Structure 1
Amino acid sequence: MQAAYEVINERGFAAATFQEIAKRSGLSRPTLNYYFASREELYRALLAQAHDVVSSCIRVAKQHDGTLDRLHAYIDALVAAWRRDHAVVGFLVNARMEAYRHPDLPAASVAATRGFLGEVVAEAIVRRELPAHTEHAMLVELLYSMLWGVGAYSGWQGRPIDVPEIAKQLHLVLGNGLLPIAERDS
């Protein structure tokens, strides 16, 4: 599976071949075909595994109270996942792009992330951590694009980057630039 993540991350779904995945994994192509009848089947298995990572990060975040605590916990869980396996997190970013290019491919991790962020924003409005006039959908999209952007940036750099440090800066932006708006409106 690791080799498949890497090949798809480098080449995209359309250009990834069983031959290259088999070569990188040290398996023969027939052996790979024994486990996965098609590239689409392999991709769906990779998506399911990557979705489990997203679901786990959401579960960790939901154990926390408060908007910032939940957002920080989610970001920290993603960073921990990235530390364990750069390729899976990179695949999550690439899967987002592939969902646009190939709408027939499932995008459960996208829906789960947006759903989680939607809950966080809605709860923040109810708790008055955000003003009542907050545009819920737009804020969810902003948060989603920030998270996706960090993931995309970390996955596409040709040099080592410090994802935990970037996450730390994202924590500061969220904590000092997003929620204090409610305090000014009071």
Structure 2
Amino acid sequence: MLVDCATGTRGRGRPVGADSERTRQTILRAARDVIALSGYGAATFQQMALRAGVSRPTLHYYFDTREQVYEALAQAVHAQIARYIAEAREFPEPRARLVAFTEAVAHLCREDPGALRFLVTMQVEQRRGVHCNATAESAIAAIHGFYDTLADTRADTLADTRGLADLLASVFWGIAFHAGFVASDSDGSVVARQLLNVFDEKLLTLQSGAH
């Protein structure tokens, strides 16, 4: 039964009590999938409501606009990425930080590939320039900033730190795309974990004069 909790009367589209947050999360997961598959411009409230299994009045109770939905999703992904980066930076050595972040991404591949699917979609939307979002840009910048910092630790021995940072970022986006759009939900973390076998000590300890 739908009840307006503030007035005690029925409220159109409004779930009650503990169901409220659960419904909101269901809507967000559905919207995330719709936007990732269709793009922001083509995603509609009707598609989101159908995928979530709720009425449009219920969806509108939580979100007035697509931009509000997109912002909520961008904030969630940004928070995840920021947490992984903060945890990785607790390690003193660059190699350990790289491993920690890659392992976190592997965990996300396995537990929530939809998050990576949406992250890739955010990157595409930002580069297209049609729908730009400050929170999405911050999440993307945080990823590249993390790899920039790793590469900068080799500035005294590696001439092209920019190239190393771009390589690491490119591999990350490749993993995210593979986990989100190519691999099955159970296989997405395999590529990320294999990356740990490929990245040996030499990656972050290259000598600039060694050719």
TM-score (norm 1): 0.87
CA 33–139 in structure 1, closer or farther in 2 if over 3 Å, else same: same
Between stretches 61-70 and 48-57, larger displacement belongs to: 61-70
In structure 2, how many angstroms separate the alpha carbons of the residues matched to 1:39 and 1:184? 53
**Structure 1 unaligned residues grouped into runs of 5+:** none
Q: Which residue of 2 aligns with 1:115?
A: 145
1:45 aligns with 2:72: yes
Residues 45-74 of structure 1: per-residue CA shift (max 9 Å, x gap): 100011011001101211212111111100
Which structure 2 residues correspond to residues 13-92 of structure 1 after superposition, within 5 A? 13-92=40-119
**Contact 1:89–1:151 (CA under 8 A) maintained in structure 2:** yes
1:162 aligns with 2:192: no
Q: Could you tell me which of 128, 137, 140 is aligned with 2:162?
A: 137
TM-score (norm 2): 0.77
Identity %: 32
CA 168–184 in structure 1, closer or farther in 2 if over 3 Å, else same: farther
TM-superposed deviation, 1:158:
6.4
**Structure 2 unaligned residues grouped into runs of 5+:** 1-27
Residues 126-149 of structure 1: per-residue CA shift (max 9 Å, x gap): 5xxxx242x222221111011001
1:105 aligns with 2:133: yes
Give 4+ residue runs of structure 1 displaced > 3 Å after superposition: 158-161
Which structure 2 residues correspond to residues 170-185 of structure 1 after superposition, within 5 A? 170-175=195-200, 178-179=203-204, 181-182=206-207, 185=210
Aligned residues: 181
Larger radius of gyration: 2
Name whichever structure is richer in helix by fraction.
1
CA RMSD of aligned residues (A): 2.2
In structure 2, how many angstroms separate the alpha carbons of the residues matched to 1:170 and 1:59? 21
**Contact 1:57–1:74 (CA under 8 A) maintained in structure 2:** yes
